Amino acid sequence: MQEINKRVQQLEKELVHFGQILKIEEKKTAIEKLQFKMSEPGFWDDSKKAQSLVDELKYLKSDVDDWQSLYTAFINLEEIVNLDDLSFEKDVLKELKRLEGDCEQFKLKILFPGKFDNANAIVEINSGAGGTEACDWAAMLFRMYFRWAEDKGFKLKVLDELRGEEAGLKSITFFIQGLRCYGLLRSERGVHRLVRISPFDANKRRHTSFASVDVLPEIKDGLEIEIKPEELKIDTYRASGAGGQHVNVTDSAVRITHLPTGIVVVCQNERSQHQNKQAALQILKAKLYERREDHNRKELEKVSGTKRRIEWGSQIRSYVLHPYLLVKDHRTDLEVGDAKSVLEGKIDNFLYAYLRFMSESEE
């Protein structure tokens, strides 16, 4: 039982430490205040503000409930251990092993220190050079993220897409709504490489295709990103897509050009021109924020003389389907032999490996 007691003491230290890092007691107080606000008359009069508070409550409760569940299970285990009854040893070891595994998973919550890691994500995929082959690869990547979001129970909405001439996608922009979505997907930003026997090549030769993925956080109201109306060039045109009652009927699609930076954003899949404009402005705000942050990081590097270990624009992952099956992340060196399951959305191993890698590199 001496070894069990040591493991139990270590487990308690970790749980207390997690509670301090995640500021569980502060979040409990914040939850009480939010719940009081939600009980006040007229809370839903301003639906936008109300929904923002509901989302904040969900985030806070996620941390508190998960930690409390672990800590309660630990207290129950500790009570059995304190009985010092050897007849319970087998059950204690089984429960202790389960709790230690749960603690390892819980550590992942601490890997989300970024300002927008809890935000929803805006994802853009652009095919590289290579015509139909590259467009097909972009479509495969979109399917991968679609299946990942589906498995997580996240909501995915396509904002804009440009089909390839024969197959696939030249580009696609979509929105994923879910807990810590940006914090998880920020690791996907970069160039993705595919090696396979092309289904579009009659000679069955091996082809290498590239597609770039960009991931932006949803920037909600309140952040100081100034966009002056005179800096915008707004064009409207008829949407072109898979169909629907609004496609090719009204000039509902919106293209916004930010003149000072040359950034262009497009949205055409919402129901009205107004909704497309709002969605496009949201994407523009996220791009301008990322541009500002990139500039700040580069200036900091000049002053400190340090370089980031991750270069966003570089090739981050290779998906090899011939002559063998392998997916390799070139930043973390994680390799997975079941490439087909990865392309079906099983990418959590890569996401968490990157988070651990970045956490360790910042220590």
Look at residue 319 and tell me if it is in a domain: no
Q: What is the pLDDT of residue 250?
A: 64
Look at residue 309 and tell me if it is in a domain: no
Q: What is the pLDDT of residue 293?
A: 76
pLDDT at 223 over 60: no
Q: What is the pLDDT of residue 70?
A: 93
Closest among 195, 262, 189, 272 to 236, alpha carbons compared: 272
pLDDT at 43 over 70: yes
Look at residue 239 and tell me if it is in a domain: yes
* 104 & 128 share domain: no
* 34 & 134 share domain: no
Look at residue 313 and tell me if it is in a domain: no
* 42 & 160 share domain: no
Q: What is the mean pLDDT of residues 7-29?
A: 90
pLDDT at 362 over 60: no
Domain of residue 289, CATH code: 3.30.160.20
Q: d(Cα 92, Cα 77) in Å, to the nearest integer? A: 7
Tell me the pLDDT band of 299, cut-offs 50, 70 and 90: low
Look at residue 51 and tell me if it is in a domain: yes
* 17 & 94 share domain: yes
Closest among 267, 273, 285 to 221, alpha carbons compared: 285
Tell me the pLDDT band of 308, cut-offs 50, 70 and 90: very low
* 154 & 233 share domain: no
Q: What is the mean pLDDT of residues 139-159?
A: 96
* 35 & 55 share domain: yes
- What share of the chain has pLDDT > 90, as a percent? 54
Mean pLDDT for the chain overall:
86
**How many other C-beta atoms lie within 10 A of the C-beta of residue 187?**
23
Domain of residue 171, CATH code: 3.30.70.1660
For tokens 């005179």, the residue is 230
pLDDT at 306 over 60: no
Look at residue 341 and tell me if it is in a domain: yes
Instruction: Indicate the residue among 111, 138, 169 that finishes a domain.
Output: 111
* 128 & 105 share domain: no
Q: What is the mean pLDDT of residues 162-180?
A: 92
* 19 & 105 share domain: yes
Tell me the pLDDT band of 108, cut-offs 50, 70 and 90: low
Look at residue 318 and tell me if it is in a domain: no
**Token duo for residue 348:** 């959590």
**Among 56-60, 62-66, 151-155, 303-307, the least confident range:** 303-307
Q: What is the pLDDT of residue 83?
A: 87
Look at residue 322 and tell me if it is in a domain: no
Spatial CB neighbours of 309, under 8 Å, sequence gap ≥ 6: 331, 361
Q: What is the pLDDT of residue 248?
A: 46
pLDDT at 245 over 50: no
Contacts 24+ apart (CB under 8 A), 349-356: 350/187, 350/317, 351/184, 351/185, 351/187, 351/188, 352/108, 352/111, 353/329, 354/187, 354/329, 355/108, 355/111, 355/112, 355/183, 355/184, 355/187, 356/111, 356/332
Spatial CB neighbours of 97, under 8 Å, sequence gap ≥ 6: none
pLDDT digit string (tens) for 116-134?
887 899 999 999 987 899 9
**Phi, psi for 351 (deg, rounded to 5):** -65, -45
* 15 & 162 share domain: no
* 89 & 154 share domain: no
* 339 & 212 share domain: yes
Instruction: Indicate the residue among 58, 90, 111 that finishes a domain.
Output: 111
Q: What is the pLDDT of residue 296?
A: 66
Of the two residues 152 and 242, the one the predictor is more confident about is 152
* 85 & 13 share domain: yes
Say what the pTM is.
0.70
Q: d(Cα 11, Cα 8) in Å, to the nearest integer? A: 5
Domain count of the chain?
3
Q: What is the mean pLDDT of residues 189-197?
A: 94
Which residues span the domain enclosing 132?
A: 121-218+328-361
- What share of the chain has pLDDT > 70, as a percent? 88
Domain of residue 13, CATH code: 1.20.58.410
Tell me the pLDDT band of 309, cut-offs 50, 70 and 90: very low
pLDDT digit string (tens) for 281-295?
989 989 998 888 777
Q: What is the pLDDT of residue 240?
A: 67
Tell me the pLDDT band of 179, cut-offs 50, 70 and 90: confident
Instruction: Indicate the residue among 111, 144, 167 that finishes a domain.
Output: 111
